[in-house]
Structure 1
Amino acid sequence: MTLAANSRRGQLLSSPESGLISRFLFDGRNNELSHQSALAAAQAEHKRVREAAIRVFELHSLQEERQRILELERKEQERLRVEAAIVEEERRLRELKAKTVPKLPPEPVPEPPKKVEPTPVQQPVAAKPQEPVKQNLTEARQQPTSNAAAPLNRLAPTTLAKPVAQPPAAQIPVARPPPAQKNALADRYVEIHKELKKLRQVLQAEAKVPGSPLKGKMGTYRREIRVSIGQLTAGKGANAQPIAKITMALTEALNGTVPSAPIEVSRFTVGQRQPVAGAVNNEATLPSLFIYLLNICAKGIINQFINECSANPKAADPIGVFTAQIFSQKEFQWCGESLIDILMAKFRVVCPVLFGLRGSDKTERGRQAIGWKKDGPGYVTEQTHNDRMTGLGTGFASISLRDFSKTAKVNPYTSVNYWKALAGIVNSPPNETSNTQYVVLRAMIEGHEQRFLNFYGNAAIAALRLALVEFPKKAPANAAAAQSLRAMVELLRTEGLVLG
C-alpha cells in the first residue's frame, strides 16, 4: 500500500502540470511583480479583444453602408427606368398623333371625271324606285331619313365614284345657312352661357347662408355628378350605376326634395316655347337647382370630351349615349322639348367653329374667336389646343349623329345640327380658313362616316366629297391638318367609298 501511494505521488509530481502547481504554491505568487505581470497580460488580452471587436464592428458597418448604397442605387435605377419608359410612351404618343397616312397616287382612269361645282339649293326631285334614296338637306327644318345608305363596306366603288353626277335638279350641295341666322344662334348661346354663370353665382352664395336647404347638399350633388360622368365607359350595362346617381340627383332637384327658388326656363333656351299637351313640365319656371345641376352635367360632358377623347376617340360614344339619355327624358324637358341648349351653349364657348365662327390661329382676335384657351397671360400650346378641338369635334359628332329610330323618345339634338356644323366649316372662304377648322372637321368625320351615310345617303357622299377633297384645297400648302383630311380619302377608298 505504501509503495502504491508513493508511486501515485511520484506520477503527480512528475507530470507536466506539476510545475504549475508548484508555481501556484510558490510563496512569491502574491508579490507586486507577479501582479503587474498578470495585469499587463490581462491588459494586452483586453486590448487584443477590443481591437478585434472594433474591426468586426467596422467591417459590419461598412457592409451595412455598402448595402444601403446598393439599395439606393437600385431604387435610382428603377426610377430612371420608369421615367425612361414614361418618356418613351409619351414620345410614341406624340409620334402617333403626328403621323398621317400619305396619299396614294391617283389611279389611272381613261377619262377623269368632270369636276362638279356646288350649285344653288334646288328642290328635291322624287327618286325613281330603283334609284338610291336622295333627299335635299339644305333646309334645316327638314328631318333626315334614317338608313338611307348601305353599310360602308358594301357600297360598290363604281356606284360611289360619281355620287352627285345627276341632273342639276337632283344635285345635293352643302348649303350655307344665312350668316344672320347663324350668328344669331351663336350669339344666343353666348347669352345662355352668361345666364348660367349668373345662376351659379347666385346659388353658390345662397348655399353659404346658414340654414339654407342648399347648404352642403348642392356641393354633394355637384361632386356626385362629376364623379359619375368620369366613370362612363363602353360596354352594355356598364354605366347603369353612374347614370342612376345622376338621374336621382336631377329628380330630387326637380321634385323639390331639396327646395330651391323657381327660375324662368326661357332664359336658358334658344327660342320661345309654348305649353304642349302631355308635357311633364309646362310651367314658365322650374327649380333653379335643377337648371344648375343640368349645367353641371353639361360641364362634365364637355370636360370628358376634352380630357378623354383626343387620344381615344372611341371614348366619346358612351358619353354621347349618356347625353342623349339624359336630355331625352320627358321628366327633364320643358314644354315638350329638351334643354340641351344648356350643353350647346358650352360647346359654343369652347369650340366656336362648330357654329360657323371663324378666325386666324395666328392673331389674338382670331384665337379668341375660335376658342383658343388662355393659360395665364398667354395661350395653351398648339398641340394642347388641337387635342382639345379633336375631343370636342368627335364629341359633337357622338351627340348629333345618334339614331333614335328604334326608340319612342325624341332625339334631343338631331343630325341636322351635324349637317349645319359641317356646312359652316366647309363653306368658309379660302381667306378665312384656319387649322382649327381642319382639326375639328377631321374629328367630326373620322369614325362617324357610316352614321353620316346612314342618315343622309348620297347627300352624305356629296358632303364628304366637299369636306375631304374640295375644302382642303383652300388650305395653305403646309397645313398639316388639311393634309390629314386628304389622307382620309384614301382610307375611305379602301373601305369601298370613292370620293375622288
Structure 2
Amino acid sequence: MPAASGASSTSMNTSNSFSSSWLGSSPSRQSPVRQSPQRNGLRSSRGSLILDTYESPSRKLQLEFNNILSHSDREFHKKLDQDAAERARLHNEQLARAAQEHQRVLEEATREMERIKLEEENQRLRRAVAQETEIQRLKEQKMKEEADARQRQLEAKLREEEVSREAAERQRRIQEAAEKARAQKEQEEAARRKRDEDERRAREAAAAPPPPVQKPQPTQAVQPPAAPPVVASAAPAAPPPSSTPSADILEVHKKYLALHGSMKQFRKQFTAAHKDKQDPLKPIVGDLRRNMNKRLGQITVDFQDSKKAIASIRAECFDTAINAGGPMIDIRPFLITHQITNDADAQYPQLLLYAWIWFEKYLITQWYNEASKEDGRIITQLSLIAASLYLDPKYMLKGTIPMTDTLIAKLHRICPMMFGIRGNATTDRAGLGLDKIHPNESDMNRYSQLMTGVGAGYAALTHRKFAGKPPAIPISEYWRAVALIANTPAEALYPGHFLCLQGLLRDNAKKFLATYGVAAKAVLRRATFDLPNRVPEPRAGVQEERSGLHAAANLVRVLPDVWQKKENISIK
C-alpha cells in the first residue's frame, strides 16, 4: 500500500539520517556495527560483529540505545501505517456508504420522475375525458336549445293564430255591438220622433174647436189632450227600451260579477286556510301583501324607480308565489275570455291567484290616490307595471293566457258604465256600483276621484304595448268603453259617466288619434261635444236625482280646449 511504502521510506530516512549524524561524530561515539570489517579487523563467518574485548562499556550502551531507538522508530512507523490503513478503510467505507446513498437517491428520484410522469399522463387523460364530456354536453345543450327554439316558434305561431282568431272574434263582436248600437240609436230616434208627433197631434186636438153639429162626448173631449201628458210624465220614471243595455252586454256583465264574487270568496277562504301560525305559507302570505302594497306606493315618474319597483314586485311577490309551492286550483271559474277543456291545463297555483287579487286591489287603490293630480304620469307608470306583469309568461296560465279577467271583473263591479251598463242612479245603485256611495259630500268626492282614476288607469293599460307581444288589454276595448259611454241616452246619464270619461280621455287623446286617425276624432267629438250637450236641464221644483251631473259634464266639455292648448290637438 502507498501509506506503508511512505512509512518505510520515512523510517529509512530517519535511520540513515541518524547514522550519518552518528558517523560524523567523534570516534568514541561511533557504533562498531557501522564499522567495516577491515577497520575492526574482526567479523564472524555469519557477518556479525565480534566485539573487541578491549572495547569500552559506554560503547556498548550506545549500541544498545541505538537498537532501542531503531526499534522505537519501527514501532512508531508501524503504528502510523496502521492508522493510515484504518483511515483508508474508514474513508472507503464512507465512500461506499455515499455511493449507496447516491444510488438510493437516484432510485427515489427515478421513481418520483416516473410517478410525476404517470400523474401527468393521468391528468392529461382526465382533461381529455372532461373535454370530451364538455363537448358532448355542449352538443346536447345546443340540440336542446334548438328543440326549445323550435317549440317556442311553434307556440308563438299558435299564439299568433289564437290572437288573430281572438282579434277577429273581438272585431266581430265590436261590429255587432256597433250595429246594435246603431239600430238602438235609430229606434231611439224613431221613438223620439213618434213622441214629438204624438205631442204635436195632442196639442192640435186640444186647440181645435168641437164639432158644430154633434155635441162632443166628455170622454172624447178630454181623452186626446190627456194622453200626451201621461206619456210625458211617465217618460222620466220609466225609461224607454233604448235606455237599457243589450242582452249580450248584460250577459257578459253578469259573468264578470259572478267572477268578482268568486274572487272575493276565494280570497277569504285562502286567508282563513293559512292563518295558523304553524302553516308554512302564513308568513309568505302576509309578506306578499305588505311588500306589494309598499312597492306600488313607491312608484314615481322616474323610470329607474319604476324599474326597481317592478323588479321588487316580481322577486318579492310573484316569483315568491311561484317558488313557494302550495296547493293548485282549477282556474276555469276565474276565466271569461278563454275556455280550457283539459283538466290538467287548468291547474294554477293558488298563491299566485291570491297574489293577483291583492295586486289588482292595490293597483286600483293607487289609481285612486293619483287621480287628483293634474299629471297622469304616475298612473301611466302603474299601468306599465301591470301590463308587464300580465304579459309575463311565467305568471300566465300555461305561459299563454294572461290573468286580466280578474282585473276586468273588479272594474265591472266598481265602474260598470265603462262596459255599457245603464240604469237608474236612484233605484239601481247596486247595479251601477253606487251601493257603497252615500250622497254626502265626502263619499261623492271619493267616488269622483275613484271614477277618474279607474278611467285613467284603464286607458293607460289598453294603450301600453310591448315589442313582439300582444297588449294585455287591446286598445279596441278602450274604443269600446269610450263609445259605450258616449252613446248613453240622456235619461240614463249620471256623474259617474263623465268622471270616468274624463279619466279615459284626458291624457290619451293623442295616442287614440295616432291609432285610429279620423275615426278616433269622430269618437272624441261625440264624447266631448255631443254627450255633454245632451245632458237634460234640471226640472224646476224637482230635486235633481243625479247630483252634480252638469258639473261633471263640464269636466268633459273643456277637454278639447285643454288638448288644443297643451298638445296642439284640434278635433273640431
Which of the five TM-score ranges fits, normalised by the shorter chain? 0.5 to 0.7
Shift in alpha-carbon separation, 1:271–1:282, aligned structure 2, 3 A:
farther
1:186 maps onto 2:253 in alignment: yes
Q: Which residue of 1 aligns with 2:348?
A: 286
The one of 514, 539, 558 aligned to 1:487: 558
Q: TM-score, with normalisation over the residues of structure 1?
A: 0.60
Determine the C-alpha separation between the residues in 2 that align with 1:466 and 1:377: 29
- SS of the equivalent of 2:451 reads helix
Task: Report the Cα offset of residue 234 of structure 1.
Answer: 1.4
Task: Determine if contact 2:337/2:405 at 8 Å carries over to the other structure.
Answer: no
Of the structure 1 ranges 409-418 and 236-245, higher mean CA displacement relative to structure 2 is found in 236-245
Call closer, same or farther: CA 1:208–1:491 in 2, change over 3 Å.
Answer: closer
Q: What's the CA shift string for 1:203-231, capped at 9, x where partnerless?
A: 11111235322122211111111111111
Tell me the distance in 1 between the aligned counterparts of 2:319 and 2:341. Answer: 21
Residue 151 of structure 1: aligned partner: none
Distance 1:176 1:380 in 2: 40
Matches within 5 A, 1:91-490: 141-142=170-171, 179-248=246-315, 249-254=317-322, 257-274=323-340, 283-312=345-374, 313-335=376-398, 336-361=400-425, 363=426, 365-372=427-434, 374=436, 380-404=442-466, 407-477=467-537, 479-490=550-561
* Structure-2 change in CA distance of 1:353 and 1:172 (3 Å): closer
Which residue is 1:168 aligned to? Answer: none
Q: Structure 1 residues 380 and 179, CA, compared in 2 at 3 Å: closer, same or farther?
A: farther
Taking the aligned partners of 2:445 and 2:536, their CA distance within structure 1 comes to 19
Q: Which residue pairs with 2:17 in the alignment?
A: none
Tell me what 2:542 maps to. Answer: none
What is the count of residue pairs matched by the alignment?
326
The one of the two structures with greater contact order (alpha-carbon pairs below 8 A, sep at least 6) is 1
What does 1:43-58 align with in structure 2 at a 5 Å threshold?
none
Q: Equivalents in 1 of 2:183, 2:262: separation in Å?
A: 29
Letter in 1 for 2:293: R
**Structure 1 residues 172 and 381: CA distance shift in structure 2, 3 A:** same
Q: Deviations over 1:312-370 (max 9, x none)?
A: 43321111100111001011112512111111111111111111122444x2x343232
Amino acid at match of 1:347: L
- Counterpart residue identity of residue 422, structure 2: R
Larger helix proportion, structure 1 or 2?
2
Q: Which amino acid aligns with 2:556?
A: L
Whole-angstrom CA distance in 2 between matches of 1:210 and 1:424: 49
- TM-score, structure 2 normalization: 0.53
Q: 2-side partners of 1:229 and 1:355: how far apart?
A: 26
Equivalence for 1:80: none
Aligned to 2:51: none
Moved over 6 A (4+): 171-178, 375-379
In the TM superposition, what are the counterparts of 1:49-68 in structure 2 within 5 Å?
Answer: none
Residue 415 of structure 1 deviates from its aligned partner by 0.5
Distance 1:377 1:492 in 2: 32
For the residue of structure 1 that corresponds to 2:348, the secondary structure is: strand
Mapped to 2, the partners of 1:268 and 1:260 lie a distance apart of: 19
Larger Cα Rg: Structure 1 or Structure 2? 2
- Residues 176, 322 of structure 1: alpha-carbon distance in 2 compared, 3 angstrom cutoff: farther
Q: 1:329 to 1:296 in 2, by over 3 A?
A: same
Distance in 1, matches of 2:439 and 2:480, equals 34
Task: Return the letter of the residue paired with 1:252.
Answer: T
TM-superposed CA distance for 1:190, in Å, is 0.9
SS of 1:286's equivalent in the other structure is strand
Deviation at 1:241, TM superposition (A): 2.5
- Offset at residue 379 of structure 1 (A): 8.8
Give the drift of 1:252: 2.6
| 3-state SS, counterpart of residue 310 of structure 1 | coil
CA distance in 1, matches of 2:183, 2:479: 10
Which runs of 5 or more residues in structure 1 are unaligned? 1-137, 144-170
Cα displacement string for residues 36-70 of structure 1 (whole angstroms, at most 9, x for unaligned residues)? xxxxxxxxxxxxxxxxxxxxxxxxxxxxxxxxxxx
Q: What is the rounded CA distance, in whole Å, between the counterparts of 2:183 and 2:515 in structure 1?
A: 19
Choose 291-300 or 484-493, whichever is displaced more: 484-493
Tell me the CA shift for residue 460 of structure 1.
0.5
Aligned to 1:127: none
CA distance in 2, matches of 1:393, 1:340: 16
What SS class does the counterpart of residue 270 from structure 1 fall into?
A: coil
Q: Distance in 2 between matches of 1:482 and 1:140?
A: 34
